[in-house]
Amino acid sequence: MGISPGWDGRLTNNSEHSLPTDAELREVALTRDEYKRATDLLGRQPNQIELGIIGGMWSEHCGYKHSRPLLKRLPGDGDQVLIGAGEENAGAVDIGDGLAIVMKIESHNHPSAVEPFQGAATGVGGILRDIFTMGARPIALLDSLRFGPLDDQRGRYLANGIVGGVAWYGNCMGIPTVGGEVSINKCYRGNPLVNAMCVGIIEHEKLTSATAKGSGNQLILVGADTGRDGIHGATFASVDDPEASHRGVVQVGNPFMEKLLLEACLEALQTNTVVGLQDLGATGLTSSSVESAGRGGGGVAIQVDKIARRADGMSPYELMLSESQERMLVVAKRGDVSKLQSVFSRWGLHSDVIGEVISTPNLEVLDGDIHVASIPIDMLVNAPTYSFPVERPRYLDETSSFSKDLIPDVVDPTATFLKMLASPNIASRQPIYQQYDHMVGTNTIIAPGGDAALLRVKGTEKAIAVATDGNGRTTFLEPFVGGASAVAEAARNISCTGAVPIALTNCLNFGSPEQPTAYYQLSQAIDGMAAASTALGTPVISGNVSLYNESDGESIWPTPIVGALGILNNLEKRCQIGFACSGDEIAVLGAGTPELDGSEYLSVIHDVVAGIPKLVLSDELALQRLVRELISAQLLASAHDCADGGLAIALAESAFAGGVGVRAESLHTKHRIDEMLFGESQSRIVVSYSSGAGPAVAAAAATAGVPFFQLGNVGGDRLLIGPIDVALTDAESDWTNGLRLALAGNA
Amino acid sequence: MKAAVVVFPGSNCDADTLYVLKNLLGIDARYVWHGENCLHENTDLVVLPGGFSHGDYLRTGAMAARAPIMTAVRNHAAYGKPVLGICNGFQILLEAGLLPGAMLPNTSTQFRCEWVHIRVESLETPFSSTCRPEQVLRLPIAHGEGNYVIDHDGLSELQDQERIVYRYTTAEGIDSPDANPNGSMDNIAGICSSDRNVVGMMPHPERASEESLGSQDGLTIWESVLDGMGD
Amino acid sequence: MTCKLYKARIVIQLNEGVNDPQGLTVRDSLHELGFAQVRNVRIGKMITVEVAATNTDEARGFVTAMCSDLLANPVIESFEIETLELVSEEVETSP
Amino acid sequence: MTCKLYKARIVIQLNEGVNDPQGLTVRDSLHELGFAQVRNVRIGKMITVEVAATNTDEARGFVTAMCSDLLANPVIESFEIETLELVSEEVETSP
Ligand SMILES: Nc1ncnc2c1ncn2[C@@H]1O[C@H](COP(=O)(O)OP(=O)(O)O)[C@@H](O)[C@H]1O
Ligand SMILES: [Mg+2]
**Domain extents in chain B:** 2-228
Q: Is C31 in CB contact (< 8 Å) with chain B?
A: no
Cβ-proximal residues to B105 (8 Å cutoff; 6+ apart), any chain: B144, B145, B147, D21, D22
Q: Which long-range contacts (CB under 8 A, 24 or more apart) does A652-655 make?
A: A652/A417, A652/A421, A652/A719, A652/A721, A652/A731, A652/A735, A653/A577, A654/A577, A654/A578, A654/A579, A654/A586, A654/A686, A654/A688, A655/A579, A655/A714, A655/A719, A655/A728
Residues from chain D that touch C26, judged by Cβ atoms under 8 A, are: 47, 70-71
Mean pLDDT of chain B: 97
State the smallest CA–CA distance between residue B171 and chain A in angstroms. Answer: 15
What pLDDT was estimated at residue D90?
Answer: 79
Q: Does residue A464 contact residue A457 with C-beta atoms inside 8 Å?
A: yes
Q: Provide the whole-model pTM.
A: 0.95
**With contacts defined as CB-CB under 8 Å, which chain C residues touch B57?**
21-22, 25-26, 43
pLDDT in tens, A191-205: 999 999 999 999 999
Q: Considering its fold, how many domains does chain D have in total?
A: 1
Residue A690's pLDDT is 98
Ligand at minimal distance from the CA of A562 is 1
Substitution target from A437, A438, A573 for chain B, most B beta carbons within 10 A: A437
Distance A560 CA to ligand 1 centre (A): 14
pLDDT digits (tens, 9 = 90+) for A246-304: 356 789 999 999 999 999 999 999 999 999 999 999 899 999 999 999 999 999 999 99
The answer to whether the CB atoms of C47 and D41 lie below 8 A apart is yes
Residue in B closest to C34 by C-alpha: B66
Beta bridge partners of residue A195, listed in sequence order: A107, A144
Q: Is pLDDT above 80 for A705?
A: yes
* Cβ A295 under 6 angstroms from ligand 1: no
D73/B62 CB distance under 8 A: yes
Mean pLDDT, range A119-135, rounded to an integer = 97
The domain over range A575-747 is classified in CATH as 2.40.340.10: no
From B6's Cα to the closest Cα of chain D, the distance in A is 21
* Sheet with strand A638-641: strands edge to edge: A638-641, A684-689, A585-590, A708-714, A662-664, A718-721, A724-727
Nearest to B113 among A173, A436, A456 (CB): A436
Cβ–Cβ gap B95/D73 under 8 Å = yes
Q: Does domain B2-228 have CATH number 3.30.70.360?
A: no
Domain that holds residue D73: 2-17+44-92
Q: Cβ(A506) to ligand 1 under 6 A?
A: yes
Q: Does residue A544's CB lie within 6 angstroms of at least one atom of ligand 1?
A: yes
Q: Which residue from A339, A284, A291 is spatially nearest to A307, judged by alpha carbons?
A: A284
pLDDT confidence band for A670 (50 / 70 / 90): confident
Radius of gyration, alpha carbons of chain D: 18
Minimal-distance CA residue to ligand 1 atom 16: A544
**Atom 10 in ligand 1: which residue has the minimum CA distance?**
A543
Q: Is the pLDDT score of A733 beyond 70?
A: yes
Provide the pLDDT for residue A447: 97
User: What's the pLDDT score for residue A7?
Assistant: 41
A280 Cα to the center of ligand 2, angstroms: 7
Does residue A615 carry a pLDDT above 80?
Answer: yes
The answer to whether the CB of A103 falls within 8 A of the CB of A565 is yes
Phi-psi sector, A43: left (phi>0), alpha (psi -120 to 50), beta? left
Which residue numbers of A are catalytic? Answer: 61, 108
Instruction: Yes or no: say if A2 and A356 are a contact pair by the CB < 8 Å rule.
Output: yes
Does the CB atom of residue A73 touch ligand 1 within 6 A?
Answer: no
Q: Is the pLDDT of residue A232 over 80?
A: no
Does residue A524's CB lie within 6 angstroms of at least one atom of ligand 1? no
Quick check: is C9 in a domain?
yes
Q: Which of B230, B195, B220, B227 is nearest to B132 (CA)?
A: B220
Between CA A171 and CA A161 the distance in angstroms is 15
- From the list B51, B55, B112, which residue is nearest A434 (CB)? B112
Cα–chain-centroid distance for residue B224? 14
Q: Does A486 contact ligand 1 (Cβ within 6 A)?
A: no
The pLDDT value given to residue C1: 62
The H-or-E segment that residue B119 falls in is strand B112-120
From chain D, pick out residues whose CB is under 8 angstroms from the CB of B106.
21
**Span A611-637, average pLDDT:** 97
Phi then psi for residue C6, to 5 deg, are -115, 150
Q: In whole angstroms, what is the distance from residue A549 CA to residue A558 CA?
A: 9
Q: Which of A610-619, A666-675, B165-174, C10-19 has the lowest mean pLDDT?
A: A666-675
Residue C57 burial class via C-beta count within 10 angstroms: exposed 0-12, middle 13-18, buried 19 and up: exposed
Residue A205 is predicted with a pLDDT of 95
Mean pLDDT for the stretch of residues A684-711: 97
Q: Which chain D residues are Cβ-neighbours of C66 within 8 angstroms? A: 30, 33, 35, 38
Percent of chain B scored above 70 by pLDDT? 100
Single-letter residue type at B29: A
- Percentage of chain A exceeding pLDDT 90: 88
**Domain holding D54: CATH number?**
3.30.1280.10
Q: Which of A421, A461, A544 is nearest to A110 (CA)?
A: A544
C25-72 per-position pLDDT tens digit: 999 999 999 999 999 999 999 999 999 999 999 999 999 999 999 999
Ligand 1 pocket member A545 (CB < 6 A) = yes
Quick: pLDDT tens for A155-181: 999 999 999 999 999 999 999 999 999
Q: What mean pLDDT is predicted for residues A116-142? A: 97
Is D22 close to B58, i.e. CB distance below 8 A? no
- Interchain contact, A435 vs B113, CB within 8 Å: yes
Residue A1 has pLDDT above 50, yes or no: no
Nearest by CB: B109 against D21, D69, D73: D21
Neighbours of A54 (CB within 10 A): 27
Residues of C in contact with D63 (CB under 8 A): none
Compute the C-alpha angle A211/A143/B141, nearest 5°: 110
| B204 catalytically annotated | yes
B52·A164 Cβ contact <8 A: no
Distance C75 CA to ligand 1 centre (A): 29
The model's confidence at residue C91, banded by pLDDT at 50, 70 and 90, is confident
Average pLDDT, chain A: 93
Residue A210, pLDDT > 80, answer yes
Mutate: best of B107, B111, B184, partner D, most D CBs <10 A? B107
- The percentage of chain B sitting over the pLDDT mark of 90, rounded to a whole number, equals 98
Residues A82, B33: Cα–Cα separation, whole Å:
36
Question: Which of A280, A544, A561, A562 gets mutated to test ligand 1 (max ligand atoms within 8 A of its CB)?
Answer: A544
User: How large is the average pLDDT for residues B166-171?
Assistant: 98
Chain-chain contact of A442 with B19 (C-beta, under 8 angstroms): yes
Residue B63 near residue D70 (C-beta atoms within 8 A): yes
Would you tell me the crossing angle of helices A646-658 and A413-422 to the nearest 10 degrees? 70
Q: CB–CB of C25 and A256 under 8 A?
A: yes
Contact A538, A490 (CB under 8 A): no
In a domain, residue C39? The reply is no
Q: What pLDDT is stored for residue D94 in this prediction?
A: 57
Do the beta carbons of residue A464 and residue A95 sit within 8 Å?
yes
Is pLDDT at A234 greater than 60 in this prediction? no
Ligand 1 atom nearest to CA at A288: 21
Q: For B1-52, how does the pLDDT look when each residue is reduced to its tens digit (9 = 90+)? A: 999 999 999 999 999 999 999 999 999 999 999 999 999 999 999 999 999 9
DSSP secondary structure code for residue A746 in this structure: -
* pLDDT tens, position by position, A463-517: 999 999 999 999 999 999 999 999 999 999 999 999 999 999 999 999 999 999 9
Catalytic annotation, pick one of B13, B76, B87, B143: B87
Q: What is the pLDDT of residue C94?
A: 57
Question: Where does the pLDDT of residue A185 fall: very low under 50, low under 70, confident under 90, or very high at 90 and above?
Answer: very high
- pLDDT over threshold 50, residue A239: no
Q: What are the residue boundaries of the structural domains of chain A, listed by start? A: 575-747
pLDDT of residue A237: 28
Q: What is the pLDDT of residue B73?
A: 98
Q: Classify strands A91-96 and A81-83 as parallel, antiparallel or unpaired.
A: antiparallel
pLDDT tens digits for range D23-82: 999 999 999 889 999 999 999 999 999 999 999 999 999 999 999 999 999 999 999 999
Annotated active-site residue B41? The verdict is no
For residue A358, pLDDT over 80 is answered with yes
Asked if residue C59 belongs to a domain, the reply is: yes
CA distance A311 to chain C (A): 6
Least confident of A1-5, A225-229, A647-651: A1-5
State the pairing for strand pair A137-147/A193-203: antiparallel
Residues of A in contact with B15 (CB under 8 A): 441
Q: Predicted confidence band at A241 (pLDDT cuts at 50, 70, 90)?
A: very low
**What is the spatial distance between Cα A484 and Cα B138, in angstroms, rounded to a whole number?**
42
Whether residues C14 and A115 touch (CB distance < 8 A) is answered with no
